[in-house]
Chains A and B, each alone.
Chain A
Amino acid sequence: MNHPSTPHRPVAPHGFPDGVDLDRVWTGVAAEVWRRSPSWMERTAARLLRSPGLARALVTTPSLLLPWLISTVVVFGVGALIRLGPGQPAVWLIAPGIAAVGIAFAYGPGIDPAWELSSSCAISDRIVLLTRAVAVFALNAVLGLIASAASGAVAALTFGWLLPMTAVSALALAVAVATRSAIVGAGAGVAAWVITVLASETASGRLTVSVTSTNAYLPYLVIAVACAAIAVYAMRPQRGLQ
Chain B
Amino acid sequence: MNVNLTEIHRSFGKNKAVDGVSLELGTGVFGLLGPNGAGKTSLLRILATVLPPSSGEMALLGRDPRASAARREIRRRLGYLPQNLGYYPSFTVVEFIEYFALLKEMPVPAVPRAVAAAVERVDLGPKAKAKLRTLSGGMLRRVGIAQAIVNNPDLLLLDEPTAGLDPEQRVQFRSLLRGLGESSTVLVSTHLVEDVGAACSEVALMSAGKIVFRGTPDELTVRGEGHSVGDAPLERGYSAVLAEARS
Q: Which residues of B contact A128 (CB under 8 A)?
A: 103
Interface check B58, CB cutoff 8 A: yes
Pairwise interchain contact A64-B50, C-beta atoms closer than 8 A = no
Q: Considering the chains assembled together, what is the distance between the CA atoms of A54 and B50 in angstroms?
A: 19
Q: A32-B112, A242-B66 are in contact. Are A116 and B82 (CB under 8 A)?
A: yes
The listed residue (B54, B129, B173) touching A239 by CB distance below 8 A is: B54
A157 to chain B, nearest CB (A): 28
Question: Nearest Cβ in chain A — how far from B148, in angstroms?
Answer: 9
Chain A's closest residue to B97 (CB) is A34
Q: With A and B bound together, what is the CA distance between A119 and B51 in angstroms?
A: 9
Q: Top 7 closest A-B pairs, CB basis?
A: A113-B86, A53-B102, A121-B103, A31-B116, A242-B52, A30-B116, A1-B172
Interface 0/1 of B69-96, CB less than 8 Å to A: 0001101101010101111101100110
Tell whether B105 is near chain A: CB-to-CB under 8 Å. yes
- Cross-chain contact A65 with B121 (CB below 8 angstroms): no
- B residues lining the A interface (CB < 8 Å): 9, 45, 48-50, 52-56, 58, 65-66, 68, 72-73, 75-76, 78, 80, 82, 84-88, 90-91, 94-95, 98-100, 102-105, 108, 112-113, 115-117, 119-123, 125-126, 128-129, 142, 145, 147, 169, 172-173, 175-176
A34 engages B48 (CB within 8 Å): no
Which residues on the A side are within 8 Å of B95 (C-beta)? 36
In whole angstroms, what is the CA distance A122 to B105 when docked? 6
Are B125 and A30 in contact, CB atoms less than 8 angstroms apart? yes
> Is A1 within 8 A of B103, CB to CB?
no
CB distance from B70 to the nearest CB of A (A): 11
- Least CB distance from A228 to B in Å reads 25
Among A23, A30, A65, A239, which residue has its beta carbon within 8 angstroms of that of B90? A65
**Closest CB in chain B relative to A122 CB, distance in Å:** 4
Give the docked Cα–Cα distance between A119 and B104 (Å).
Answer: 10
Instruction: Kindly state the separation between the CA atoms of A64 and B95 in the bound complex, as whole angstroms.
Output: 13
Contact A2:B116 (CB < 8 A) given known A34-B94, A117-B85, A241-B65: no
The chain A residues found within 8 Å of chain B, CB to CB, are 1-3, 6, 8-9, 23, 26-28, 30-32, 34-36, 51-53, 56-57, 60, 63-65, 112-124, 128, 180, 239-242
> 7 A-B contacts, Cβ less than 8 Å apart?
A6-B125, A52-B102, A117-B80, A122-B75, A128-B103, A240-B54, A240-B55
Q: If A28-B113, A123-B103 touch, does A34 touch B123 (CB 8 Å cutoff)?
A: no
CA of A6 to CA of B54, assembled, Å: 47
> How far apart sit A31 and B109, CA to CA, in the bound complex (Å)?
11
Bound-state Cα–Cα, A28 to B52, Å: 39
A206 to chain B, nearest CB (A): 42
Do the beta carbons of A117 and B82 come within 8 Å of each other? yes
- Given the contacts A31-B112, A36-B98, A117-B147, A1 and B86 also touching, CB distance less than 8 Å: no
Check A3/B172 contact, CB under 8 A, given A117-B82, A120-B75. yes
11 more A-B residue pairs beyond the given contacts A52-B108, A53-B103, A122-B103, with a C-beta to C-beta distance below 8 A: A30-B119, A53-B102, A53-B105, A56-B103, A64-B90, A116-B86, A120-B78, A240-B53, A240-B55, A241-B56, A241-B65
Chain B residue at minimal CB-CB distance from A9: B125
Nearest Cβ on chain B to A21's Cβ, whole angstroms: 12
Chain B's closest residue to A128 (CB) is B103
Q: Which of A60, A122, A241 contacts B52 (CB 8 A)?
A: A241
When distances are taken between beta carbons in the complex, the residues of chain B under 8 Å from A116 are 45, 50, 82, 84, 86
A118 CB to nearest B CB, Å: 6
